[in-house]
Structure 1
């Protein structure tokens, strides 16, 4: 069980991993070199930088990080379950640090290095042979908040229960896409991804293209990020490209050389966005591009490639196939780039990867490719791949010949094993579980429903008003439980429609719409099977309300939650009812009058405080996720976690006070005093006073729902309120953009 983590090195990566671990609820000790004046200054500044860069998924977690320095504070690491080294990428500096740690760390502490270059064999001093079963690589990708890949490897004798338990920890507690790789320089993602990037740069001048044309060809057209080649280099840094390719060329002996014009930019310290410009830069209002042929800047020229726009409207992989046939020199560029990339991947897979699926996952998870190189080769057909290799002057690997003999790299749920040459079941591969979770979410988006096993159905909910019909349809399949996954537009409530209806004075229609919205929530509470809501992405407004009406909730830690605009009148119907009933139920042991007053104050206080909640953990603690909830950092495993909760509830439907005509106490004058209305803004006071009047006269759930409708109708009749509500909606929409 890992509960305390030590991180050595408070640079961009070390501090970001410390933030990740603290966000997962772990205690963290972050050490860096000793500072002058403030011995912990460098580590403290790294922590402050991580906060500023939003590396903490839970903003309140910074308090779980203790800073110090490696000269005085190494003994603090003796109580850590895991120590991560993330110092400068210098072999001897790392080895010396490990030697110092050997005298401090107990035998059970796991030690990992975040190296992206060196092997375990190169880093472990001979005298630390006893570490071989607990010394691993954990190659995180930066920034870890956005890039989930973590390449992991161990010595052969270290691949035991402790290693695989640690891999599960990385996945389930830290939300990583842990990929098992071989102990080779550059591992998999960088070795192949940087090779493809370096050759994309080299082919620019070899074939006479401009940076703008290359970026147009190497982005979404080839299933790669929109930043493509040169924009990516500017984002990450020209220095990172130069140093990374130099290191990989030295450690592997392979051809990673970049052209002289890139070295010119590096020597001139034109490193990209961090220095005000690299390949691209802005001078006043003018966008400039560094021209590799002229060795100087010129005005930016948008690419004009015949047929490109039509191809970009095609789905992948159709556009990949079409890119090969673009007119010269553009089609030549694509063919040579794919030929060189495929040739290198085929030649080096056995060295770097455990299986070909891991190569695809590394490029997809670490470099943002829509499909990895083996999937691309399968799309194109092996005969066409052989032609690409020959046209690029690349030797044809025996791995391609094996695939031709076996009918492909992938066939009927089986995958070619490079070691044996046989097709083996994909389920046997280490990355299959994570891949299945990712594909499950994608399938739910496409199909709207998905069977999670054991009779548990996941349902994508896109409209609150359509929810009763949607769940009624799923009940025809006889599920044992439902997992509702909301994907509402905006806040999920038809505020714009209600404001327009109010302008026209259509009060009967407004009442019908309000009843329909509330009945959608009542339909959830009346279901004969347990209901779990899974919140991912946008969870504010109707999605938070749906969680309150469900039997349990699972939420990704950074999902935005709460009720934006509620205090100025954008009332989320059904939310106050749920908050009041649940608040009162939690105080069941109190005397009845006090319980009623406490329930109302608690509910209204939560209502006022929940315009924006920064993390699901805080939302759960404040009562916004119901009485059974789980906040997780494992976004890929969100549906599995929801299915686990649903499975636990499936034996019996929990009591649902929200679906019953439960009698509620009548609140006294203490409610108003408890809320300190005088301290509120006038617009907020108008809303809260109306809500207080409503809850005072509500004796059961039906009464309270009716009172909520009455409050909103009352507000809608006020022209100033309508104007204020529209302005709030516009501000919220602008913030989302």
Structure 2
């Protein structure tokens, strides 16, 4: 079992993995070389850079990382269950480190390397043969907060139950999309992804295209990220490209050479964004582009490619067909690029990958492709693929012939096995579970309702008003439990409409609108089966309130939660009542008046604290996720986790405080709500005083909701408050940079 991990190497990758692990609640030791003034200085600075780059999913988790140096503090790793090596990509340096680690580590400690170049056999010194069962590759992608792929491999004798447990740990605890790969240089993602990138760069000069043209052709048109080719190189760094391709060429023997003009920029220190510019740079107000033909900068020119805009309006991969037919030289470029890429993938798949599905997953998860090369080849068909290979001057590999005989690389839930030449069930592949989780989430996004198995239905909720109807439709299918996945705009509350109704003096219309919103939440209390909220993505406002009215909550760690702007008049309808009722239920052994006092004070204090919530874990601690909550870093598995929790609740006796029919006592006139009223600005003071009066009310749940509505109407009747609320809403709704 892994409780504490050690990371050696506090560069961008090592520090980011340390931040990720600490964010999941693990204790972390982070070591680097010894500093002159501060012995732990290099590790400390690496950790600080990671924090500045938002590598911590939970900012407070930085306190779980202990920093030190490899000269004085190597013995700290003795208590670690897993040690990750993330030092420079130098074989001798890594081997020397492993020899030193052998003297301090427990014989049970798992040791992994983050290498992207060397094989396990190349890195493990002969005298450390006892490590072979616990020495693995864990090739994380940077930044791990955004790129979830982790390529993993082991020696044959290392693929034991411990290895399988470690893989599950990477998936479930660290939220990685693990791919089991062969122990070959470059593994899968870099081997094929960087090859495709190199060909994109080479063809620029060969066909005389401008960098702007290439980026227009190699982004969304081909199902790849918007940063395309040259913008991606500037973002990651020309040094990474040059050094990475050299390493791959040396280790694989394949041709990864970049053009001379890229080497010129590298030698000149123009490495991309990190040095103020690479292929693209800004000089004052002018945007410049390095022209590979002129070998000089010139003003940036937006690409003008006939037919491109029309193609981009088509879905992917359908637009691939149109891209092949673009006028020369643009269509020539696309055909050459795809032909070279497909040809290399077909020739080298059996060297690098355990199955062809892993090639597609590696490029989708690691390089952001919308569909991997085998899925693209299936869509285009073998005849068109053969034509692309011929135009690119690449011989057709036997694997393409096998696919022609079997009807494709993927067919009816089966995948072509290169070793046997047969179609085998995709369910047998190691990556299937992760792939299924991702596809389930995508299907829910498209369809709005999805069967998660064993009678559990997932519902995508796009507005509070749509909730009752969605519940009715779901219950008609006789499920055993429901999982609600909010996808709400503008904090889920129609604040602009409410402000307009108040501004026009339409009090009746305002009250009716507020009543309808509360009724939507109350519909959850009448659902006769467990309801679990699954929060991923924007959940501030009504998304958080849905969690409060549900029976349990599962949230991704970085999901935005809480009630920003509440003290400015953006009152989250239904939240205060839910917070008071839940607080009183937790204090059920106390006398009713005392419960009421505690409930009212707790609700108001929590509402004010919920203005700024930087992690789902903090939201849960504050009580914003209800009484049963779970926070996870496994984003892909979030729906599955929510479904598991819903199934467990379906076996239990319901405990639903918000379905209570009891009459709540009146609270005293004291208000304990964090800061004193004197510390608040006039608007916030008015909001707190008005809501406090409503919270102190006695009565049934319906009467508490009525008091809440009246408080909101009273607040929105104030012109100054409406102005402050509108300005706050506009500021909160502005795109975040």
TM bucket, shorter chain = over 0.9
Q: Are the counterparts in 1 of residues 280 and 289 from structure 2 also a CA contact under 8 Å?
A: yes
**Does 1:568 pair with 2:568?**
yes
* Counterparts of residues 640-719 of structure 1 (less than 5 Å): 640-652=640-652, 654-672=654-672, 676-719=676-719
Secondary structure of 1:451 counterpart = strand
Alpha-carbon deviation of 1:492?
0.4
Could you say which residue in structure 1 is the equivalent of 2:627?
627
Alpha-carbon deviation of 1:674?
6.7
Q: State the alpha-carbon separation in 2 of the partners of residues 698 and 179 from structure 1.
A: 58
Could you say which residue in structure 1 is the equivalent of 2:54?
54
Could you say which residue in structure 1 is the equivalent of 2:514?
514
Q: Are the counterparts in 2 of residues 189 and 363 from structure 1 also a CA contact under 8 Å?
A: yes
Could you say which residue in structure 1 is the equivalent of 2:486?
486
Alpha-carbon deviation of 1:306?
0.9
Q: State the alpha-carbon separation in 2 of the partners of residues 675 and 330 from structure 1.
A: 64
Q: Are the counterparts in 2 of residues 672 and 692 from structure 1 also a CA contact under 8 Å?
A: no
Secondary structure of 1:634 counterpart = coil
Could you say which residue in structure 2 is the equivalent of 1:224?
224
* Counterparts of residues 181-220 of structure 1 (less than 5 Å): 181-220=181-220
Secondary structure of 1:671 counterpart = coil
* Counterparts of residues 293-692 of structure 1 (less than 5 Å): 293-652=293-652, 654-672=654-672, 676-692=676-692
Secondary structure of 1:208 counterpart = coil
Going from structure 1 to structure 2, the CA distance change for 1:589 and 1:660 (only over 3 Å counts) comes to closer
- Which has the larger displacement, 656-665 or 547-556? 656-665
Q: Alignment RMSD, CA only?
A: 1.1
Alpha-carbon deviation of 1:603?
1.3
CA displacement 1:656-686 (0-9 Å, x = unmatched): 2212222323222443587622222221110
Secondary structure of 2:459 counterpart = strand
Secondary structure of 1:400 counterpart = helix
Secondary structure of 2:298 counterpart = strand
Alpha-carbon deviation of 1:589?
3.4
Q: Are the counterparts in 2 of residues 579 and 603 from structure 1 also a CA contact under 8 Å?
A: yes
Could you say which residue in structure 1 is the equivalent of 2:3?
3
Secondary structure of 1:649 counterpart = helix
Secondary structure of 2:29 counterpart = strand
Q: Are the counterparts in 1 of residues 669 and 696 from structure 2 also a CA contact under 8 Å?
A: no
Secondary structure of 1:646 counterpart = helix
Going from structure 1 to structure 2, the CA distance change for 1:673 and 1:519 (only over 3 Å counts) comes to closer
Q: Are the counterparts in 2 of residues 269 and 275 from structure 1 also a CA contact under 8 Å?
A: yes
Q: State the alpha-carbon separation in 2 of the partners of residues 682 and 608 from structure 1.
A: 15
Q: State the alpha-carbon separation in 2 of the partners of residues 676 and 670 from structure 1.
A: 12
* Counterparts of residues 283-294 of structure 1 (less than 5 Å): 283-294=283-294
Q: State the alpha-carbon separation in 1 of the partners of residues 119 and 34 from structure 2.
A: 28
Alpha-carbon deviation of 1:327?
0.8
Alpha-carbon deviation of 1:588?
2.6
Q: Are the counterparts in 2 of residues 528 and 653 from structure 1 also a CA contact under 8 Å?
A: no
Could you say which residue in structure 1 is the equivalent of 2:732?
732
Alpha-carbon deviation of 1:696?
1.6
Could you say which residue in structure 1 is the equivalent of 2:133?
133
Alpha-carbon deviation of 1:590?
3.5
Q: Are the counterparts in 2 of residues 82 and 109 from structure 1 also a CA contact under 8 Å?
A: yes
Q: State the alpha-carbon separation in 2 of the partners of residues 372 and 407 from structure 1.
A: 18
TM-score when scaled to structure 1? 0.99
Secondary structure of 1:731 counterpart = helix
Secondary structure of 1:192 counterpart = helix
Q: Are the counterparts in 2 of residues 114 and 139 from structure 1 also a CA contact under 8 Å?
A: yes
Alpha-carbon deviation of 1:504?
1.4
Secondary structure of 2:208 counterpart = coil
Alpha-carbon deviation of 1:593?
3.3
**Does 1:239 pair with 2:239?**
yes
Could you say which residue in structure 1 is the equivalent of 2:278?
278
Q: State the alpha-carbon separation in 2 of the partners of residues 500 and 336 from structure 1.
A: 57
Q: Are the counterparts in 1 of residues 597 and 696 from structure 2 also a CA contact under 8 Å?
A: no
Could you say which residue in structure 2 is the equivalent of 1:97?
97
- Which has the larger displacement, 18-27 or 666-675? 666-675
Q: State the alpha-carbon separation in 2 of the partners of residues 159 and 210 from structure 1.
A: 48
- Which has the larger displacement, 197-206 or 679-688? 679-688
Q: Are the counterparts in 2 of residues 601 and 675 from structure 1 also a CA contact under 8 Å?
A: no
Could you say which residue in structure 2 is the equivalent of 1:142?
142
Could you say which residue in structure 2 is the equivalent of 1:114?
114
Q: State the alpha-carbon separation in 2 of the partners of residues 674 and 540 from structure 1.
A: 21
Q: State the alpha-carbon separation in 1 of the partners of residues 33 and 655 from structure 2.
A: 56
Secondary structure of 1:472 counterpart = helix
Q: Are the counterparts in 2 of residues 530 and 653 from structure 1 also a CA contact under 8 Å?
A: no
Q: State the alpha-carbon separation in 2 of the partners of residues 522 and 598 from structure 1.
A: 23
Secondary structure of 2:30 counterpart = strand
Q: Are the counterparts in 1 of residues 576 and 695 from structure 2 also a CA contact under 8 Å?
A: no
Going from structure 1 to structure 2, the CA distance change for 1:673 and 1:236 (only over 3 Å counts) comes to closer
Q: Are the counterparts in 2 of residues 529 and 653 from structure 1 also a CA contact under 8 Å?
A: no
Alpha-carbon deviation of 1:592?
3.8
Alpha-carbon deviation of 1:473?
1.1
Q: State the alpha-carbon separation in 2 of the partners of residues 412 and 591 from structure 1.
A: 63
CA displacement 1:185-232 (0-9 Å, x = unmatched): 000000000000001000001111111111110000000000000000
Secondary structure of 1:94 counterpart = helix
**Does 1:162 pair with 2:162?**
yes
Q: State the alpha-carbon separation in 2 of the partners of residues 470 and 517 from structure 1.
A: 15
Q: Are the counterparts in 2 of residues 698 and 707 from structure 1 also a CA contact under 8 Å?
A: no
Q: State the alpha-carbon separation in 2 of the partners of residues 696 and 366 from structure 1.
A: 54
Alpha-carbon deviation of 1:466?
1.6
Alpha-carbon deviation of 1:506?
1.1
Q: State the alpha-carbon separation in 1 of the partners of residues 149 and 673 from structure 2.
A: 52
Q: Are the counterparts in 1 of residues 596 and 696 from structure 2 also a CA contact under 8 Å?
A: no
Q: State the alpha-carbon separation in 1 of the partners of residues 2 and 592 from structure 2.
A: 44
Q: State the alpha-carbon separation in 2 of the partners of residues 600 and 84 from structure 1.
A: 49
Q: State the alpha-carbon separation in 2 of the partners of residues 369 and 476 from structure 1.
A: 39
List runs of 5+ in structure 1 lacking aligned partners: none
- Which has the larger displacement, 52-61 or 585-594? 585-594
Q: State the alpha-carbon separation in 2 of the partners of residues 482 and 377 from structure 1.
A: 39
Q: Are the counterparts in 2 of residues 560 and 612 from structure 1 also a CA contact under 8 Å?
A: no
Q: State the alpha-carbon separation in 2 of the partners of residues 591 and 29 from structure 1.
A: 49
Secondary structure of 1:452 counterpart = strand
TM-score when scaled to structure 2? 0.99
Q: State the alpha-carbon separation in 1 of the partners of residues 477 and 105 from structure 2.
A: 55
CA displacement 1:75-131 (0-9 Å, x = unmatched): 000000110000000001000000011111111111000000000000000011110
Alpha-carbon deviation of 1:652?
4.0
Alpha-carbon deviation of 1:503?
1.5
Q: State the alpha-carbon separation in 2 of the partners of residues 671 and 496 from structure 1.
A: 30
- Which has the larger displacement, 696-705 or 670-679? 670-679
